[in-house]
Structure 1
């Protein structure tokens, strides 16, 4: 690897600082280089030392600026929303995959800024009774589901017609274009389509499970929705810092309306939730009420 390759490698890793922050570090770099040349015992040592010193100096240069000006860590500044969503799609495909058993339950724990905790247990195949907090959810078996949590005690447990709603989704598109068409079809009759799409992206990523290809397609499709913006210094509902993605000025919006924000880890691009609700645990368990 030559010096230019080294620069490219380090630059891609940590990014560049603004020009105004570079001059002092450049002077220190040149002074260090002049000093090394005066004292080098062998040329091979200078080459190796210069390369190592150059890498360190590059890191020092970008480190001069605060994180929110460099584009690293928790304060990603001026982030490209398309790149963030594309990186989120790529990150999903790198996660280990183990499909659940049909008789298992998806357990999701979310937290809000007021420290409220929400826990749900959803049937993987949709046929078993689940829970939202302490409220039972009827599973659909043989076209019938028990009715729970009604205002009329006489209807409690009565069977109603139903169709199973698996929480493990194997029916969704696996390409960005296919997923975008799916999302557009869901909001075709809703006002403020872009904002509605962002909420649908959240609902699919929040308390449902998609196959990896579909999960990646979800974020890749979101990257194709016009008007995306990145927000710096955003935290999710649990206070975890990240980069926010939103769509402002959507059709039907009113001045001062609050945009819906999706929060991603600024380093791993893992989906974290929203500023109002953080997904802190998401896994499979064998029984309703069981915690990992």
Structure 2
């Protein structure tokens, strides 16, 4: 591998810095170059312009990696990302980014719209903000799946896409806009641990619940930040560099460990994908949220 290729490989997924962040890094780069000159003594007249030999090439690549790793995300309180992603750092950065998102609560009678790229096509959902209005899901094949709202503890029963006249069932509203979730990281982790869909210690199931809350649920910025912060506390996290979500958008992935009894040849862990520069949540390697917003009616698009 030549020197330019080495530098390219080391910096492939690292966001570029702005000029204001480069002062101290430039000094380090100069020192690395000087060290490379000293360690690999070759008469200057005989040395090609890019002939950084052996350890000198690695040192130069490391120095340039350090320079570009000083990304502008520091200005919004994020930790500088490393060339080889640390899952805890990625999730903390995602939490910091989420905390700075705009906060415009929907009206109770509005709907959260999401469009999701899935293996079989695109799925659209209109979920009632307060859980009392009738929403719907449009499947990839175009069929509509009704989501009856819960009013006065009763919800309409459907057979297929047709309501059964006079047939109701007990229910509890399931709002798309969640104001009941903790905004503290420790409290959010306790909530996820107590309410996740799997057995005790099933962190892959907890990962799926994190995904459900991040995908088709509208959270306050503080709650969304706490969600990603709590996810960073899950044991056994692993980062996957240079991955893509289902829409082909590049990013860094975070996975949770499978259960001991799971066959790794059959069971596949959830991979949450975040943009490598902004740490925005994109989706997973099998699903991707490509559009979202708040609308006034089910069937309407932002």
The TM-score normalised by the length of structure 1 is 0.74
Correspondence 1:107 to 2:109: no
Correspondence 1:176 to 2:168: no
Q: Which residue of 2 aligns with 1:211?
A: 220
User: Residue 145 of structure 2 contacts residue 160 of structure 2 at CA under 8 Å; is this kept in 1?
Assistant: no
RMSD across aligned positions (CA)? 3.6
Q: Secondary structure at the match of 1:117?
A: strand
Instruction: Give 1:60 shift.
Output: 11
Q: Secondary structure at the match of 1:89?
A: helix
Q: Which residue of 2 aligns with 1:268?
A: 278
Instruction: Give 1:23 shift.
Output: 4.8
Partner Cα distance (1:229, 1:157) in 2 = 51
Structure having the larger proportion of residues in helix? 1
Provide structure 1 residue ranges, at least 5 long, that are not aligned to the other structure. 32-57
Q: Which residue of 2 aligns with 1:92?
A: 98
Q: Which residue of 2 aligns with 1:255?
A: 264
CA distance 1:157–1:131, shift in 2 (3 Å): farther
2:252 alignment partner, one of 223, 243, 254: 243
Q: Which has the higher contact order (CA 8 A, sep 6+)?
A: 1
Q: Which residue of 2 aligns with 1:201?
A: 210
Q: Which residue of 2 aligns with 1:46?
A: none
Partner Cα distance (2:214, 2:26) in 1 = 33
- Give the number of equivalent residue pairs: 246
Instruction: Give 1:155 shift.
Output: 3.6
2:124 alignment partner, one of 119, 127, 130: 119
Q: Secondary structure at the match of 1:85?
A: helix
Instruction: Give 1:112 shift.
Output: 2.5
CA distance 1:171–1:154, shift in 2 (3 Å): closer
Instruction: Give 1:193 shift.
Output: 1.0
User: Residue 236 of structure 2 contacts residue 256 of structure 2 at CA under 8 Å; is this kept in 1?
Assistant: yes
2:85 alignment partner, one of 79, 90, 93: 79
Correspondence 1:159 to 2:168: yes
CA distance 1:90–1:157, shift in 2 (3 Å): farther
User: Residue 102 of structure 2 contacts residue 221 of structure 2 at CA under 8 Å; is this kept in 1?
Assistant: no
Q: Secondary structure at the match of 2:158?
A: coil
The TM-score normalised by the length of structure 2 is 0.71
Provide structure 2 residue ranges, at least 5 long, that are not aligned to the other structure. 1-20, 45-59, 72-80, 139-143
Instruction: Give 1:124 shift.
Output: 0.3
